[in-house]
């Protein structure tokens, strides 16, 4: 088993972190999140980046560690973006959990007869998950949508049919 040199190990947090809660379990404002991220997260990210820059040249690029460090280096600008906006979550767990049923059904969709059929399946799935995210019951929404969709003529008409644009009172 490969063991890292003790000098390469960084212990940033010893306790499990629950990203489902806001910071310290409190509901806080976006500005407060940005301040806390600038104060704490930016400092940790700076330490990690310093270590990345320091160790990347001394690691064989084709080694597993070299590949991992190169990948991290390439993804670094995306990784640090969450510090810029308090609305952006640290984790993409909500997205991952939303696509889990889709991934499970993927084997069944391998046999879509046409590209258009596969696109239609993806569009329908996207609508269902958007309904769930916005607290709208998907079946009721789709019944409501399919009655009104043929009447839409403009971009504004279509926008008014999206789950987040409608009120629950308009559903059957």
Task: Give percent helix, percent strand, percent coil of the chain, each to the nearest 5.
Answer: 70, 0, 30
- What would the pLDDT profile of 60-89 be if each residue is shown by its tens digit? 999 999 999 999 999 999 999 988 888 888
Cα–Cα distance measured from residue 19 to residue 102, given in angstroms and rounded to the nearest whole number: 23
**Signed CA dihedral, 77, 83, 85, 87: sign only:** positive
**pLDDT beyond 80 at 18:** no
pLDDT band at 57 (very low <50, low <70, confident <90, very high): very high
Question: What is residue 14's predicted lDDT score, i.e. its pLDDT?
Answer: 52
Residue 72 has a pLDDT of: 96
pLDDT at 115: 83
Residue 103 confidence (pLDDT): 72
pTM over 0.75: no
Report percent pLDDT > 70 for the chain: 74
* 40: number of Cβ within 10 Å: 12
Confidence of residue 20 (pLDDT cuts 50, 70, 90): very low
Cβ-in-10-Å burial (0-12, 13-18, 19+) of 48 comes to middle
Residue 41 class from Cβ within 10 Å (0-12 exposed, 13-18 middle, 19+ buried)?
middle
> What does the pLDDT look like over 131-172, one tens digit per residue?
888 888 999 999 999 999 999 999 999 999 998 877 655 555
**45 CB-side CA count, 13 A:** 19
Query: Mean pLDDT for the chain?
Result: 80
Residue 21's pLDDT is 46
The tokens describing 42, both together, are 């930016």
Domain boundaries of the chain, sorted by first residue: 6-84, 93-170
**Per-residue model confidence as pLDDT tens digits over 83-109:** 888 888 888 887 788 777 767 666 666
Find tokens 């306790």 and name the residue: 15
């Amino acid at each position: 088993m490969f063991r890292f040199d003790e000098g390469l190990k960084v212990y940033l947090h010893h306790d499990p972190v629950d990203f489902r809660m806001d910071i310290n379990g409190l509901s806080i404002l976006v500005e407060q999140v940005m301040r806390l991220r600038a104060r704490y997260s930016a400092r940790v990210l700076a330490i990690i980046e310093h270590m990345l820059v320091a160790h990347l040249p001394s690691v064989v690029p084709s080694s597993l560690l070299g590949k991992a460090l190169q990948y991290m280096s390439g993804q670094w600008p995306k990784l640090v973006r969450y510090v810029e906006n308090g609305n952006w979550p640290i984790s993409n767990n909500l997205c991952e959990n939303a696509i889990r049923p889709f991934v499970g059904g993927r084997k069944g969709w391998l046999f879509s007869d046409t590209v258009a059929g596969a696109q239609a399946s993806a569009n329908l799935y996207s609508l269902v998950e958007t309904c769930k995210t916005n607290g709208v019951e998907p079946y009721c929404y789709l019944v409501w949508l399919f009655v009104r969709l043929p009447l839409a003529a403009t971009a504004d008409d279509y926008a008014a049919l999206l789950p987040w644009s409608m009120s629950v009172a308009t559903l059957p």
